[in-house]
Amino acid sequence: MKVLLTGSSKGIGRAIAQKFLECGHFVTGMDICESSIEHKNYTHIQSDVFSSELPDIEGTEILINNAGVQDSGRDIDVNLKGTIRVTEKYAFQDKIKSVLFIASASATSGSEFPEYAASKGGILSYMKNVALRVARFKATSNSLSPGGVLTALNDRVVSDPVLWKRIMDQTLLPKWATPEEIAEWAYFVTVVNKSMTAQDIVIDNGEMAKADFVW
C-alpha cells in the first residue's frame, strides 16, 4: 500500500517508516529534516507541515500524522494546525483506507507543557471528526497516545537518575516504550484493523492507571 507519513526522519516516525518498508509497502515521508532512510520504496519530501506548500500526492492509502514539536512556541501550529492541513489535503479521496494520528497520553491526562497538551488534546477531537468524514470511503480514523517513549527527544530525563526515578515511581510498569513498539501498534491499527474507528489507544505503561489504594 501507499503510505504517507509525516515526521519520518527521527524517533517514532522513523520506526514506523521502517516497519512499513520491511512489510513491503511504499512510504513517502514528509519531514522538516533531511531523510535518514535509504530504501528503494521510500520517497522523502522535506517540508514543514504548517508553513510549507504541500505537494500533490496521488493515491494515499494510509496517512499517518506523526510530525510534532514540544515546548517550541509552535506546538499548536505544528502539532494541531499542521496535522489538520495535511489530513484535509490527503485523506478525503477514494483510495484512503486508514488515517492514524500520533497523539500523546497528555491529551487525556494534561500532564505536559500547556501548549503541547492542548495541541494533542485537539488531535483527539479532530481524529473523531475525521472518522465521521472518511467513513464514506470505508476508511478508519484512530489515534495512538504514547506515554514515555525512548527517543532522543527525551534523553534529558532518561539520562538523569533523579528525574528517571521520579517518573518510574509514577508508572505501573516501570519502563518506557520503544519507538519500534509504537510502530507495531501503528501497523496493526492501520493495516490489520478493519473495524475499529474513532478510538484512541493509550500506550503509557499504566502511568495514568497507577494509584495507591489505601484501606
**Phi-psi region for residue 92, left (φ > 0), alpha (ψ -120 to 50) or beta?**
beta
Q: Which residues contact 159 (CB under 8 A, 6 or more apart)?
A: none
DSSP code string of 151-177: SGGGHHHHT-HHHHHHHHHT-SSSS-B
Q: Which residues contact 130 (CB under 8 A, 6 or more apart)?
A: 87, 91, 99, 141
Residue 213 scores a pLDDT above 60: no
Query: ∠162-168-173 over CA atoms, to 5°?
Result: 165
Q: What is residue 77's three-state secondary structure?
A: helix
Do 89 and 134 meet the contact criterion of CB atoms below 8 Å apart? no
pTM for the whole thing? 0.96
Q: Which residue has the cell 522538516?
A: 32
Q: What is residue 31's three-state secondary structure?
A: strand
User: Structural domains in the chain?
Assistant: 2-150+177-201 (3.40.50.720)
Q: What does the pLDDT look like over 105-154, one tens digit per residue?
A: 999 999 889 999 999 999 999 999 999 999 999 999 999 999 999 998 89
CA 96 to chain centroid, in Å, comes to: 18
Q: What does the pLDDT look like over 174-201, one tens digit per residue?
A: 999 999 999 999 999 999 999 999 999 9
